[in-house]
A and B are shown apart, each in its own frame.
Chain A
Amino acid sequence: MAYLEGKNLVASYGVVPILHECSVEVEKGELAVIVGPNGAGKSTVMRVLLGMLEATEGSVTLDGKDISMLSTQDRIAQGLAFVPQTKNVFPSMTVEENLQMGGFIREDDISKTIEEVYELFPILYEKRKQLAEELSGGQRQQVAFGRAMMTRPSVMLLDEPTAGVSPIVMDEIFSNILDVRNAGMAVLMVEQNAQQALNIADKGFVLVSGRNEHTGTGKELIEDREVRKKFLGG
Chain B
Amino acid sequence: MSDSIDIINAFALLTNFVILPALSYGSQLALGALAVTLVYSILRFSNFAQGDSMAFGTMLVILISGYMISKGWTITGFPTAILAIPLALVGMSIYLLLMDRLVYRHYRGIKIKQSIVGITASIGVMFITGGIVRFFLGASAQRFGDGERFIFSVREFKAFTGLQQGIALKTSQFLTITLAILLVAFLFYFLQKTKTGKAMRAYSDNKELALLSGIDPDKVVRITWLLVALFTTIAGTLYGLDKGFAPQQYHLLLLPIFASVIVGGIGSPIGAIAGAFLVAFSEIFLTYAYKKFLIYLLPLSMHPNSLVQLIGTEYKYAISFVILIIVLLIKPTGLFKGKVIVDE
Q: Which residues does A use to contact B, with CB under 8 Å? A: 50, 72-73, 76-77, 82, 84, 87-93, 97, 100-102, 104-105, 147, 151
Q: A90-B202, A93-B202 are in contact. Are A101 and B213 (CB under 8 A)?
A: yes
Chain B 7-29: CB-based contact to A (< 8 A → 1; otherwise 0): 00000000000000000000000
Contacting pair A93 B198 (CB below 8 A): yes
Give A45 Cβ to nearest chain B Cβ, in Å: 16
- CB neighbours of B205 from chain A (8 A): 90-93
- CB neighbours of B202 from chain A (8 A): 90, 93, 97, 101, 104
- CB neighbours of B199 from chain A (8 A): 101, 104
Chain B 247-268: CB-based contact to A (< 8 A → 1; otherwise 0): 0000000000000000000000
Number of chain B residues whose Cβ lies closer than 8 Å to a Cβ of chain A: 16
Q: A90-B201, A92-B201 are in contact. Are A104 and B206 (CB under 8 A)?
A: no
Q: Secondary structure of the B side of the interface?
A: helix
For the complex, give the distance between the alpha carbons of A93 and B209 in Å. Answer: 13
Closest chain B residue to A148 by CB distance?
B212
For the complex, give the distance between the alpha carbons of A197 and B205 in Å. Answer: 31
20 A–B contacts from the bound complex (CB under 8 Å): A50-B212, A72-B211, A73-B211, A73-B214, A76-B213, A76-B214, A82-B212, A89-B206, A90-B202, A90-B206, A91-B205, A93-B198, A97-B201, A97-B202, A101-B198, A101-B199, A101-B210, A104-B213, A105-B213, A151-B214
Q: Which residues does B use to contact A, with CB under 8 Å? A: 195, 198-199, 201-202, 205-206, 208-216
Contacting pair B208 A101 (CB below 8 A): no
For the complex, give the distance between the alpha carbons of A76 and B205 in Å. Answer: 20
Our pick among B195, B198, B208, B216 for the contact of A84 (Cβ within 8 Å) is B208
Closest chain A residue to B207 by CB distance?
A87
- CB neighbours of B216 from chain A (8 A): 73
Give B271 Cβ to nearest chain A Cβ, in Å: 13
- CB neighbours of A151 from chain B (8 A): 214
Our pick among B206, B208, B213, B214 for the contact of A91 (Cβ within 8 Å) is B206
Contacting pair A76 B212 (CB below 8 A): yes
Closest chain B residue to A132 by CB distance?
B205
For the complex, give the distance between the alpha carbons of A92 and B270 in Å. Answer: 14
For the complex, give the distance between the alpha carbons of A88 and B205 in Å. Answer: 11
